[in-house]
Every structure is written in structure tokens, then in C-alpha cells.
Chain A
Amino acid sequence: MIELYILLIFMIIGAIIAIQVKDLLSSVVAVGAVGLGLSIVFLILKAPDVAITQLVVEILALIILIRATLKKDLPFSPTGRWFLNTLIAIVFVGTFLTVACKAITDLPQFGYPAMRVAKIYLEKGLPMTGATNLVSSVILDFRAYDTLGEATVLFTAVIGVLTLVRKVGRKKEGKTIKEEDE
């Protein structure tokens, strides 16, 4: 399990670099490193489906973020109340960490999960659905309502993006903007 600790420490260092570096493009690339490390962690933790999805989603998220930050670098200007803001943020994060550390002692020991629901899936998954990939049978047969809700959220997000970036109805005088049919 030592490689798990090494990868997690790598991810933490990458996250610190991502939030502290001043160049926006470097920050986005550091987030990409964190995501790819997370993909390897999923593979070590025996979750190949999640690892594949995380890998490809990370690449697409990186492309979208780079597209947003390209040629838009701004100088970092810390003005006013620097000390007060940092103090408030650190107090908040410290409170969160203290409470969360008390909370994780109630969890089952790492490596020994409480599998009350999953026991039924493991025993009856193959005869009931016929799918040999248990994750696939859980998301599309036992818990398909969850996937339906996910599809609804994705549809709403796509409609939101298409509404935010549309060009119809944003004409300015003196300019002729080519309108594309949406």
C-alpha cells in the first residue's frame, strides 16, 4: 500500500502548486497532473471502470479549461485585507479538518468495508442480470433511477451552456453579427 501513500502525497503537492502558482495555464496543467494521479489511484484501488472514466474526463476537462484561459493571463494583484482574509480562510479550514478527523474514526477500518447492500449484488448480480461487469449491472439495472437522474442533470447542464453562449438577441448597433441557427 506504500504506492498509494506516495501517489496521494504527489496529488497533494500538485494541488498546492495548482492553487499557489500565479500563471493560470500552469495552474490548469497542475490540476491535470492531480487528475491523472487520481486515475492511477483508482486503478490501484481495483476500480477499472472509474479509472477509465476519470482518465478521459480529465483530458476533456483540461481541454475546456485551457480553452478558457488561453491568452487571458492577468497579473496577480493582492490588494487590501490580505491578512484578515487568509486568517478567516485558515480558521474555517482548520475547523473543518478538526471535525472531519473526529468523524472518520467512526468509519470502518480501511480495507474492511461494511458491505450490507453489496452482498446481495455480489451474490445475485450474475443470475439476475446476466452482466458480468457488476458496476454496469448496478448502474443500469439495480439502480437505474440514479442514472436517469444523472441523464437529467447532464441534459440541464448542456441546455445551460448552450443558453449562456448563444448569439441570438445580442445585436449591437453599427455591427452586423452573423446569426447561426441554434
Chain B
Amino acid sequence: MIIYFLCLVLFAIGLYCVLRKRNIIKIIVGIIISEYAANLFFILTAYRIGGRAPIFQEGVDITNMVDPLPHALVLTAIVIGLATTALLVAIAMRIYEKYGTFDITKIRELNG
């Protein structure tokens, strides 16, 4: 149970970063850390004590494998995470080009 708690602490650090920081790049960093924690949580629930990787071998009878379903879900989620990160970076660079800053409070002042 402690390992789940450490994973949640990692998620909470990312959440705190998203809530508290004002730099857009820092917010993207927080989102990335939260995403890592979510992926880690899925893989943790799939682990089995003394299990083997879900790949068959020739001539070996495998009895205890880890759960392959969360692996498949996380595999797609990682690539989607990269694409959404690139989208966020593109938006951030457009904001920098328009306002000359990454600080979200300054951006609000300029807009008002």
C-alpha cells in the first residue's frame, strides 16, 4: 500500500505545480509529472509478485504472467501524452511570440 501512496504523492506534486505556478512552462512540467504518475499507477495495479513479462517463449510453459491489459492502455496513453505536450508547447510559444512573456498574470493584465 505504501507504494500506491508514493505514486499519489508524485501526482500531488504535479497537481500543486499546476495550481500554484505562474510560468506556462512550469504548468506544462506539472502536467507531464501528473501524467507520469497516472501511467505508473496503472502499471502498479498490473504487477504480480514473481510474475513474468507477458511474452511467450518457445518451449517454456508460462504460468504466472503480469496483467497485459493495463500495459496496452498505458502504451497508447504515453504517445498521446507526447502529442498533447507538443500541442501545449506550440500554444505556449504562440503566447510568447504575442506577449513576450510566459507569466500568466502579465498576460491577463495586457489583455485587460
Contact = CB atoms under 8 A, between A and B. Distances in A.
Is chain A's binding surface mostly helix, strand, loop or mixed?
helix
Contact of B12 (A93, A122, A132, A147): A93
Given A5-B3, A61-B82, A72-B102, A19 B30 contact: yes
A64 B40 CA distance: 22
A76 B75 CA distance: 36
Contacts of A38: 36, 39-40
Contacts of B66: 45-47, 113
Contact of A50 (B14, B45, B75): B75
Q: What 5 A-B pairs come out closest when comparing CB atoms?
A: A157-B83, A111-B49, A134-B54, A138-B72, A19-B17
Contacts of B104: none
Given A5-B3, A45-B44, A146-B76, A165 B68 contact: no
B107 interface: no
A164 B33 contact: no
Contacts of B76: 139, 146-147, 150
Nearest to B80: A153
Contacts, number: 230
Contact of A135 (B5, B52, B72, B89): B72
Contacts of B39: 38, 50, 54
B55 A132 contact: yes
Contacts of A121: 68-69
30 contacts: A16-B13, A19-B29, A24-B25, A31-B29, A38-B40, A41-B43, A42-B43, A46-B51, A47-B46, A50-B74, A72-B96, A93-B12, A97-B9, A100-B8, A101-B8, A104-B4, A104-B8, A110-B1, A111-B48, A117-B69, A121-B68, A126-B56, A132-B56, A133-B56, A134-B65, A139-B75, A146-B72, A150-B79, A154-B83, A165-B94
Contact of B29 (A12, A18, A50, A77): A18
A122 B26 CA distance: 42
A69 B105 CA distance: 19
Given A50-B75, A53-B79, A113-B46, 14 more contacts: A9-B6, A11-B36, A19-B29, A24-B25, A47-B66, A76-B23, A85-B20, A86-B20, A90-B16, A100-B11, A105-B1, A122-B54, A146-B72, A150-B80
A135 B7 contact: no
A97 B66 CA distance: 28
Given A47-B66, A57-B81, A74 B47 contact: no
